[in-house]
């Protein structure tokens, strides 16, 4: 790879197919690709259409064959159960092969679907890899999802089997998965052939005779199964996201393009090599967990940390730094919300100072936009690069970032960096014309999308086109609003439906949130548009104060209004800020802004299935007088 970001991008721009042909050499193929891209297949084309491989072989078996069998592949760290366990590549190979054998004995074959409903335990990764070993398609549903949501995914995917755990542990709260699974199966018109249940010591459930079996017993009794050869264009997994129609969208991931993109990204973006320890503090139920807990680190021969805990409360705001120090983490990847929670509890970094972070080289952030103040705070405490990068479930890996492989370019807090090779990112106005540098528009990516991105939705090309391709012909519509500046930095400000139209002016909620977050007393915040008879919409700021801070709300509001007026101007029409105890978030840490908008408008929003604590809505409703 040429040195320097500009040289790397020039290589891709000059010969896109040649760039990905070279990247594909990092993967073991049973049939290497001779064609790199087929523009005539699928909604926008398919990568490596004539190639064949097995991604489980690439993630596990080839490392054992190369002599890395004794190296830790996974480290499970579970403060909620006071457990630590390392699994070597050799042991992982045995466990995955045996579970694949158990699945095959129960009729699972290539292209069959398997639903996984698991907490953050190593068996979740083992199950993903076992499906991939057979060429089966896994669909991970976030552990603890309500029965109706799980049922909808079972009905759509029509799985042959379900693999689940008896329970999960969310902080200090036990979540019994098995009753939720039973209720979901009762609701679903599709009935799987059976269920394999991981019995956890925290709560052992009753098994339904004739349907349920003990997962570990089934693995122990099974013969190891070899890797099954599949086409590069065969599906690897389905990951459901909420859809506007009420029917979840099944984002489909192919096998070959995903393997190539993730393997390349481990060095290009994160600067990680075989033997390094990588920790992505996410959940396997989200795309980040798929890409950078399970597949990416293992494709690169790294050691991946699987963490069952929280950034605060298990036991304190020093938990992340303890994990980094104890396991020699080289790169930590987490959500901005996790960092803000740590900052709220330990703003001076006293807990951080207790741990030896000499092996930690960089902190990466993604999941939602990170305010500059939090980036700068983390950078000061860690004295290491803090890199915000932007990507989506649909893309599978980063759209923009800063790239440790070729060498970092100057960082600009608040920006998601510059595009990765493969992505031509533009801000478009409503007519699809490129916006001027620095002007807000809809961020879109010129087709084709690079390897690793979703080629379509499960069994629904038409919905894929309607959702992503039809608005701006020739482009993928990200649904995010932002700007691209004159030097190529991309600034993601909000979802396009979070743009407020105030008296004819298009205003970004993200820009206002950035200003509020810079206030010395604010730990985190959200800005939403509230209906206004005169101006259409006006912004409402909801702020959470740092631990130990008590303020007169009127004085604080005056300071925040003055701050927005100074930084953005009176055009923002920002007049109201309310202090709330917490913000409603998904379990992955994203703030539920659409739900907040409905609350602010006096509606009674349905409780989202992804919310981490439904009681938060009542608390905020009381503050707003709803």
Complete DSSP assignment for 240-298? EE--TTSSPEEEEEESHHHHHHHHHHHHHTT---TT-EEEE-S-TTSHHHIIIIIIHHH
Residue 625 in this model has a pLDDT that exceeds 90: no
d(CA 70, CA 55): 20
Q: What is the mean pLDDT of residues 584-610?
A: 79
User: In this model, does residue 589 exceed pLDDT 80?
Assistant: no
pLDDT band of residue 609 (cuts 50, 70, 90) is confident
Cβ–Cβ < 8 Å for 110, 136: yes
Question: How does residue 246 score in pLDDT terms, banded at 50, 70 and 90?
Answer: low
pLDDT tens digits along 98-151: 999 999 999 999 999 999 999 999 999 999 999 999 999 999 998 877 888 899
Average pLDDT estimate for 589-606:
82
**Helix, strand or coil for residue 10?**
helix
Over residues 57-72, mean pLDDT: 98
Does the structure show a pLDDT above 80 at 536? Answer: no
pTM of the model: 0.86
Residue 535's pLDDT is 65
Is 571's pLDDT higher than 70? no
Fold: same for 5-309+389-482 and 503-624: no
At residue 244, does pLDDT exceed 50? no
Share of the chain above pLDDT 90, in %: 76
The pLDDT, as a whole number, for residue 560 is 94
Percent of the chain residues past pLDDT 70, beyond the cut: 95
Closest C-alpha to 418, from 13, 4, 5: 5
Ranges 17-26, 100-109, 225-234, 496-505: which has the least confidence: 496-505
Q: Average pLDDT over the chain, rounded to whole?
A: 92
pLDDT value at residue 533: 67
Would you call 443 helix, strand, or coil by DSSP? strand
Position 506 pLDDT exceeds 80: no
- Non-local (6+) Cβ contacts of 430 within 8 A are 442
User: For 382-403, what is the mean pLDDT?
Assistant: 96
Q: Binning pLDDT at 50, 70 and 90, where does residue 612 land?
A: confident
Please, are residues 495 and 244 in contact by the beta-carbon 8 Å criterion?
no
With cut-offs at 50, 70 and 90, classify the pLDDT of residue 544. very high
- Per-residue pLDDT for 41 more than 60? yes
Superfamily of domain 503-624 in CATH is ANL, C-terminal domain (3.30.300.30)
At residue 199, does pLDDT exceed 80? yes
Alpha helices in 176-214 (DSSP H): 177-187
For residue 330, what pLDDT is reported? 98
Which CATH superfamily groups domain 5-309+389-482? ANL, N-terminal domain (3.40.50.12780)
Q: Check residues 56 and 371 and name the one with the higher pLDDT.
A: 56
Q: Which residues are bridge partners to 390 per DSSP?
A: 400
Whole-angstrom distance between the N-terminal and C-terminal Cα of the chain? 57
Q: What is the pLDDT of residues 407-442, one digit of tens each?
A: 999 999 989 999 999 999 999 998 999 999 999 899
- Residue-range domain boundaries for the chain: 5-309+389-482, 503-624
Kindly report which listed range (57-61, 74-78, 297-301, 478-482) carries the lowest average pLDDT score: 478-482
pLDDT recorded at residue 245: 46
- Which pLDDT does position 46 carry in this prediction? 98
């Amino acid at each position: 790879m040429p040195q320097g970001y500009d040289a790397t991008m020039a290589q891709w721009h000059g010969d896109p197919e040649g760039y990905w042909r070279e990247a594909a050499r990092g993967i073991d193929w049973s049939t290497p690709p001779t064609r790199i891209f087929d523009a005539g297949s699928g909604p926008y084309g398919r990568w490596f259409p004539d190639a064949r491989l097995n991604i489980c072989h690439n993630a596990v078996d080839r490392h054992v064959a190369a002599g890395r069998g004794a190296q830790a592949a996974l480290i499970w760290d579970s403060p909620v159960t006071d457990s630590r366990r390392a699994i070597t590549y050799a042991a992982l190979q045995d466990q995955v092969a045996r579970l694949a054998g158990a699945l095959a004995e129960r009729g699972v074959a290539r292209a069959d679907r398997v639903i996984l409903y698991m907490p953050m335990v190593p068996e979740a990764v083992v199950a993903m890899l076992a499906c991939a070993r057979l060429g089966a398609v896994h669909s991970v549903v976030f552990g603890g999802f309500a029965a109706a949501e799980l049922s909808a995914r079972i009905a759509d995917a029509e799985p042959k089997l379900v693999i689940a755990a008896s329970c999960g542990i969310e902080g200090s709260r036990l979540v019994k998965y098995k009753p939720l699974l039973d209720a979901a199966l009762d609701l679903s018109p599709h009935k799987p052939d059976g269920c394999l249940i991981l019995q956890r010591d925290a709560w052992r459930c009753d098994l339904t005779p004739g349907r349920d079996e003990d997962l570990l017993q089934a693995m122990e009794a099974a013969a190891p199964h070899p890797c099954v050869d599949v086409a590069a264009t065969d599906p690897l997994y389905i990951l459901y996201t909420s859809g506007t129609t009420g029917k979840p969208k099944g984002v489909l991931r192919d096998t070959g393009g995903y393997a190539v993109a993730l393997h390349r990204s481990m060095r290009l973006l994160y600067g990680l090599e075989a033997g390094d320890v990588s920790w992505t503090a996410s959940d396997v139920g989200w795309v980040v967990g798929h890409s950078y807990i399970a597949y990416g680190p293992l494709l690169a021969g790294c050691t991946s940390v699987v963490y069952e805990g929280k950034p605060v409360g298990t036991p304190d705001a020093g938990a992340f730094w303890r994990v980094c120090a104890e396991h020699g983490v080289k790169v930590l990847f987490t959500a901005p919300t996790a960092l803000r929670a740590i900052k709220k509890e330990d703003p001076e970094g006293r807990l951080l100072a207790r741990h030896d972070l000499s092996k930690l080289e960089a902190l990466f952030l993604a999941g939602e936009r990170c305010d500059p103040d939090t980036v700068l705070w983390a950078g000061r405490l860690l004295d290491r690069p803090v890199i915000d990068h932007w990507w989506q479930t649909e893309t599978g890996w980063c759209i923009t970032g800063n790239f440790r492989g070729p060498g970092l370019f100057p960082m600009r807090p608040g920006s998601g960096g510059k595009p990765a090779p493969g992505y031509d990112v533009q801000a478009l106005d409503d007519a699809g014309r490129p916006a001027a540098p620095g002007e807000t528009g809809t961020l879109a990516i010129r087709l084709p999308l690079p390897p690793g991105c979703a080629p379509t939705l499960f069994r629904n090309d038409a919905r894929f086109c309607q959702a992503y391709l039809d608005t701006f012909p020739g482009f993928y519509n990200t649904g995010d609003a932002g700007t691209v500046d004159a030097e190529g930095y991309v600034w993601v400000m909000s979802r396009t439906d979070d743009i407020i139209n105030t008296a004819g002016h298009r205003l970004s909620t993200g820009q206002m949130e950035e200003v509020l977050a810079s206030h010395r007393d604010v730990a985190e915040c959200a800005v939403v548009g509230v209906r206004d008879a005169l101006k259409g919409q006006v912004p409402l700021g909801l702020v959470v104060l740092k631990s130990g801070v008590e303020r007169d709300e009127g004085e604080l509001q005056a300071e925040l209004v003055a701050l927005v007026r100074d930084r953005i101007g009176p055009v923002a029409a920002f007049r109201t800020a309310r202090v709330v105890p917490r913000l409603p978030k998904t379990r992955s840490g994203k703030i539920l802004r659409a739900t907040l908008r409905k609350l602010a408008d006096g509606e009674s929003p349905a409780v989202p299935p992804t919310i981490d604590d439904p009681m938060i809505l009542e608390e905020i409703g009381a503050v707003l007088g709803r």
